[in-house]
Structure 1
């Protein structure tokens, strides 16, 4: 329902395609729906799905650690793996990976999230090296804290050491940065863009 509301708000033929990134079959079905709706593979993939929990390493259940890797690292890999062949065959496209300040910095209680985002940054670097000269671009956009519903269970305004929501980046600002990255001239690749609140 949330995806459909967003698609309706965007307009212009936007289509909501729910997908559980933990499953290859679900990703394949979603890619088929996108191809059917738009006549082929997309020109741009923005990998922005993610999960975030806070717990000390000694208190993090292994299942939560695996879930963070599935959502933040394996899911993006599945989407790239599903969509990249068509981009390569076409000789053009753009893969934008949304990282985090946690893909370079570490914070207490961030064991699962930081591990997944560091891995995602490494995956992006490998992808960028492999795509050089193919016409397909790869960019990493790494924002600091962004005010999204991801924070709702954590209530950062009332937790010591957390950025208050009023001091976080707006989601629209991150979207503008992604628009900048994908609208760069074809001969320009924005390798990495790090964002912070001014």
Structure 2
């Protein structure tokens, strides 16, 4: 990777029902370590979140978790990460992850994943950062969301330029490549 050093990965705190989701988390971890991309994530030990963190660590990579104190209190924090940032609120969590990361990748997940992903996109739209974001479309998991986003654009609620910002990848390697190209473009002042 040229300019992608730290990647925020949003994903479920559950494993999901399709074994492909866990496989994608492990494959993403392996691709990140191969490319020397460090993981920034929500700091949990459960579900896909815990799985990707564990796999990055097992492969010798670096993991930076960001977790609210309330989740630490109910013992869902991952105690073995490279560095664990404990914050007070979910808003602070997202802000810290944005500060630490060069780009954002969403694996399958639920409402929390959607919240994090769309906040990263909206902060980009508002000019708070120029960091790219990508959906890893594991077994078509994001097809419905992509269809809705296309519908929102066709209905006049999203410009073609804003719609074009959404990167979609079928493999972790493709996601890392797309994100690195976008980070590189943004650092050169180009529109990605």
TM-score by length of 2: 0.42
TM-score by length of 1: 0.41
Larger-gyration structure (1/2): 1
